[in-house]
């Protein structure tokens, strides 16, 4: 149902809207998706969590997945980098294409898939090692050696997340000593250090205070120049602030997908309308 409504979308755009140029650019991006989810079904312990999800995520932009709790947002996000693999009693069918490669394909190496996607969890999960080693961890496990090379990566990534100035004098101290907002930025830097194409965020700001949240959001906005970002969020306001594209899910189904502009200003499905209006959450 989603894809059908998409083709009609152009009709609803008012031509003299000031954002129309970016709007058009966004529409264009939709035709060259980086990540394609096709007929994805996930059931856990016999209970169906995701029903026939079809979704195309455009590159170099922020896509927010919204919806009430328990609608399958997180399950969908985790399916994108196969984090469900180790769970017992789980059944997954359908495919997820990244760079025209099905990540659920037979000969796909899972570490290779995950390297392409950085994951930012709800709470920061710093590794039990120093700040430096946290960022250097990814490159190291992928075989990079040499202090100078590692140092360069660490510095670049810490600068990218705006943490360098705060920690440059204590790179050797345990990462756990940072504040929680700093830890989350460190986790982001750690994810960026393996040069992923996609950043996945699972309510990545829900444990943070407003100032730290703003910092992370600003980071996402600047990172979308180079990365494709998929965020699960349950704060509608956050989606409004930063999303280029929005997917609305309800009870395991993808109800509507479109540019943020369309979805927030002109939702097609009554459920989307109700959710955005705040009738349920």
User: Which residues contact another protein by CB under 8 A?
Assistant: 81, 83, 86-88, 111-112, 114-115, 117-119, 121-123, 125, 127-130, 137-138, 141-142, 174-177, 187, 190-191, 194, 200
Q: Tell me whether residue 176 or residue 251 sits nearer to another protein (CB atom).
A: 176
Q: Tell me whether residue 86 or residue 165 sits nearer to another protein (CB atom).
A: 86
| Minimum gap (Å) between residue 246 Cβ and another protein | 24
Q: Tell me whether residue 64 or residue 193 sits nearer to another protein (CB atom).
A: 193
Q: Tell me whether residue 206 or residue 266 sits nearer to another protein (CB atom).
A: 206
Q: CA 269, CA 280: separation in Å to the nearest integer?
A: 15
Residue 136, SS3?
helix
Q: CA 126, CA 134: separation in Å to the nearest integer?
A: 7
| Minimum gap (Å) between residue 193 Cβ and another protein | 8
Q: Tell me whether residue 140 or residue 269 sits nearer to another protein (CB atom).
A: 140
What is the pairing mode between strands 90-98 and 198-202? Answer: unpaired
| Minimum gap (Å) between residue 199 Cβ and another protein | 10
| Minimum gap (Å) between residue 176 Cβ and another protein | 6
Beta-carbon contacts of residue 159 (< 8 Å; ≥ 6 apart): none
Q: CA 43, CA 38: separation in Å to the nearest integer?
A: 16
| Minimum gap (Å) between residue 113 Cβ and another protein | 8
Q: Using an 8 Å Cβ cutoff, are 219 and 61 in contact? A: no
| Minimum gap (Å) between residue 105 Cβ and another protein | 17
CA distances from 138 to 28, 49, 157, 176 (A): 34, 31, 12, 18
- The structure tokens listed for 191 are 């994810």
Q: Tell me whether residue 29 or residue 185 sits nearer to another protein (CB atom).
A: 185
DSSP secondary structure, 53-122, as one string: EEEEEESSSEEEEE-STTSSHHHHHHHHTTGGGG-SSEEEEEEEEETTEETTSTT--HHHHHHTEEEE-S
């Amino acid at each position: 149902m989603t894809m059908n409504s998409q083709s009609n979308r152009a009709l609803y755009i008012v031509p003299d809207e000031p954002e129309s140029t970016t709007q058009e650019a966004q529409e264009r991006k939709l035709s060259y998706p980086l990540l394609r989810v096709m007929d994805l079904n996930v059931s856990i312990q016999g209970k169906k969590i995701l029903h026939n999800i079809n979704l195309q995520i455009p590159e170099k932009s922020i896509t927010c997945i919204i919806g009430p709790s328990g609608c399958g947002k997180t399950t969908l996000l985790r399916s994108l980098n196969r984090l469900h693999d180790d769970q017992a009693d789980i059944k997954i069918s359908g495919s997820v294409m990244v760079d025209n490669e099905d990540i659920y394909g037979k000969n796909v190496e899972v570490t290779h898939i995950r390297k392409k996607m950085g994951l930012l969890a709800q709470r920061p999960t710093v590794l039990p090692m120093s700040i430096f080693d946290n960022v250097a961890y990814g490159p190291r496990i992928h075989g990079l050696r040499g202090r100078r090379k590692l140092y360069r990566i660490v510095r670049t990534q810490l600068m990218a997340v705006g943490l360098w100035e705060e920690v440059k004098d204590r790179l050797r101290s345990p990462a756990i000593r940072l504040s929680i907002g700093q830890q989350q930025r460190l986790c982001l830097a750690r994810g960026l250090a393996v040069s992923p194409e996609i950043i996945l965020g699972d309510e990545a700001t829900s444990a943070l205070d407003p100032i730290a949240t703003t910092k992370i959001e600003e980071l996402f906005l600047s990172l979308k120049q180079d990365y494709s970002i998929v965020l699960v969020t349950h704060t509608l306001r956050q989606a409004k602030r930063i999303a280029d594209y929005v997917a609305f899910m309800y009870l395991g189904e993808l109800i509507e997908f479109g540019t943020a502009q369309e979805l927030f200003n002109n939702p097609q499905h009554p459920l989307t309308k109700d959710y955005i209006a705040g009738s349920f959450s």
